[in-house]
Structure 1
């Protein structure tokens, strides 16, 4: 299995400029990286003072690159309206010629990401919203007519076009079974919080029990100083290099990007 390499970029502080993110993505494309994925946050605690909007960043990446896969990694679906998200995802897929990947997850309220704005703070409720939102989102992205009356979302006689193919990767922390089961029904699993390559083997074994579709992606991220080699034979199809979140130095970021994978 060929493992692809990507960048996992927090658009914070020194990188909180969508034009600069587009520049970095263009450099990554030229340097041979396979993917460029952008964090989606509204706030990130006292150590981060500036944050760029993930959708504007993704549009910049789409316009400045030719080969990279890219997308938000990850968007908490519970704070988005799935019908609006479907339009955004489809438009980015068209804009990029089919290179857009939609990363979704539960999100975390550790710095008031939800409660500060009166969005849903309860992770169990957000989990139910995520499952129902995925049902609505995937139906709308199919291009078929959708009618849905649920606990959180309603759609009456809606059919969306264009309807390009949009891979969906779900994120979850290592050891939590609900995100793994959810991811196995879609196109990929971005597993967070692995301590060692051996943990990845455990994830691969657990995923196989749910029989994900052929081409399913198992995605991890590492710090820039971590060697990727020990992880490459443990089932990961994507190994991302994390850039951020704190004390970002633009010169060092450019060095990492331009060095390639």
Structure 2
């Protein structure tokens, strides 16, 4: 099992230099990854400073050479797809192929849709996610794309330049343990269940194996308490433990967990 630091760039953890220090320490201490929330408004009550995930991930990438990096998760429906293509291809090139892109629909708990007049109907968001992934992967491949649906793209070729071949890995965040969200993830590279115990992870792992014929090359990432070994989740089929911090945690608390050493 691989172990990553999973943190919100909010509050004291919004300091870009602190995130760089955390990334460097994680790499030096043998950890496998650093993943950050992607929010423009806080889904958590309170007034929080919020750092842009793409800028802090770029800074982390420029100061490390081994650990995997990525947003976990980016809501495709609130992103301009061409901007997302450029950001991901550039970050993947900067990190020399270390980007893992976590995707999802997002929700309106922090008014990230309604505050700017956007419709947060879950079914619409699901359609936008599916269409966005289709367009994103086609643009990464260098195809000329025309798409008329919830998402509109007219005769565009991005000519991206990323380091990953054939493409950047896609994981999908979901609060569901069955149904369409799991089926969507099974068509790609990984899943990040936002809730659930080891029995739910085992249920997801069984479904993935049924849908794909094998779990080889597919990641199941789970949130765990910082510094734990997550053996129960590994036995259930998880491949990554995301040691999760929260708004209000301080950089020194994260560094303390990192410097205690990678579990396992």
TM-score range, shorter chain: over 0.9
C-alpha distance in 1, partners of 2:109/2:78? 15
Runs of 5+ in structure 2 lacking a partner? none
Q: CA deviation at 1:146?
A: 2.4
Runs of 5+ in structure 1 lacking a partner? none
1:71 paired residue number: 70
2:131 paired residue number: 132
1:149 paired residue number: 148
1:248 paired residue number: 249
With over 3 angstroms needed to count, the CA separation of the structure-2 counterparts of 1:144 and 1:213, relative to structure 1, is: farther
With over 3 angstroms needed to count, the CA separation of the structure-2 counterparts of 1:213 and 1:207, relative to structure 1, is: closer
1:232 match: secondary structure: helix
Q: CA deviation at 1:159?
A: 3.9
Q: CA deviation at 1:178?
A: 1.7
The answer to which of 80-89 and 167-176 deviates more is: 167-176
1:210 match: secondary structure: helix
1:27 paired residue number: 25
Q: CA deviation at 1:176?
A: 4.5
1:148 match: secondary structure: strand
C-alpha distance in 2, partners of 1:41/1:121? 15
With over 3 angstroms needed to count, the CA separation of the structure-2 counterparts of 1:201 and 1:213, relative to structure 1, is: closer
C-alpha distance in 2, partners of 1:122/1:180? 20
**Runs of 4+ in structure 1 displaced over 4 angstroms?**
none
With over 3 angstroms needed to count, the CA separation of the structure-2 counterparts of 1:83 and 1:229, relative to structure 1, is: same
> 1:98, 1:164 within 8 Å by CA — same for their partners in 2?
yes
Q: CA deviation at 1:43?
A: 1.8
CA RMSD of aligned residues (A): 1.6
With over 3 angstroms needed to count, the CA separation of the structure-2 counterparts of 1:163 and 1:94, relative to structure 1, is: closer
What TM-score do the two structures reach when normalised by structure 1? 0.93
- After superposition, give the CA deviation of every residue in 1:109-146 in whole Å (9 maximum; x if it has no partner): 11212111223311110100000011100000112332
What TM-score do the two structures reach when normalised by structure 2? 0.92
2:208 paired residue number: 207
Q: CA deviation at 1:48?
A: 4.3
Matched, 1:259 2:260: yes
* Equivalent of residue 181 in structure 1, options 175, 180, 183: 183
Count of matched residue pairs: 257
> Counterparts in 2 of 1:1-261, with a 5 A limit?
3-44=1-42, 45-165=44-164, 166-194=168-196, 196-211=197-212, 214-224=216-226, 226-245=228-247, 247-261=248-262
